Structure 1
Amino acid sequence: MGWSVNFDDCHGNENVNFEVSHPAFIVDEDGSVVPLRDVTDSGSTLFIHGRTAFADDMVEIKIHGAPERRPQTLKEILGLGQSPAFMRTKRSLLAPPMFVPENQRAPFPKSIGKVISSEMPDNVVFKLTGEGADQEPKGIFYINKNTGEVLVSRSLDRERIAFYHVSTFSIWTREGM
């Protein structure tokens, strides 16, 4: 399987910086999308972000026939709880980088990722903080407090705000609180 991306900033494409939403891929100097290792967990979508001093663009690549990723708990990812030797573990939170293409079309809201906790979902409440969440412009990003699913509520205008830095945190609750 071979993919390539074409990027044209109308100024000679000098110093193009590409970012790929999956860490197992890079974009070569000729625009070829290259896997760094055997990839079995790419999911069904990759985002490639190209940027120079003159242009900034993102492409979404749909991978047809890719196996669906089975949702995993953080305990499964880290291999915790598989042995009685692990009687007590620290709580962990996994929030992977989330990429949102510019000028997406309706319908909204759109899911852009999921935060995973090592605790049981009914013991955790997820929250977002930062520009676009609880800081101006408020309400662009929000999180399902019970499932950890992160959503974008409208199209993004990168000319107005180039980057959003949103952080997530969780509150562990006890029954009866």
Structure 2
Amino acid sequence: MTHGNGDAAMDQMIRTMKPAIEEFGNDDRRSVLIHGQYVREDQLDSFMELNVIASLFPLHTYYWGDWHKQIIGDSLGNSISPTRTALDKGLRITIHTDAPVALPNLMRMVGISVERKSRSGQVIGADEKTTPYEALKGITDWSAYQHFEEDTKGTLEKGKLADLVILDKNPLKVPEEEIKNIIVLETYKEGKQVYKR
């Protein structure tokens, strides 16, 4: 797991990974870029070649998107946490809250990944939106894979742990601006209820 926010940090990550992979191979690892706020397209191409999972932070667009656009302008500001570009290139991605930096509200995270609206209501990178289904995969199925847990978690299948929530609305059927306000009614861990609203 490598934290890299600026493009120079990700250049360094790529530069150091290449010789390590040449010497030790890459079959038993799932290398992960954490954050990648300013990841460039050519770096996403390198991550694809190096089999790196991009764990991006699109919730950043809500909390700090207005500030980023004031400091670095629209061109770079609109491409922070480039989830759509990464997905279109074929990268495995996940999304995260960076708690306690941002509150660990996963429905807010899913909603912002789809909506990409800042606190002021400005859309930060409309071309980088995910679908609701992709955002949900980014916190379930794809996240389980990132942590070598895909055999026990991430999807609802016989033999898996039955970790799940009951929501008050279907995030695949409500307007995108409503997803972030969806409420968890019940939480189950390994099939046992651990929370009820």
TM-score (normalizing by structure 1):
0.27
TM-score (ref. length: structure 2): 0.25
Greater Cα radius of gyration, structure 1 or 2: 1
Higher helix share: 2
Higher strand share: 1
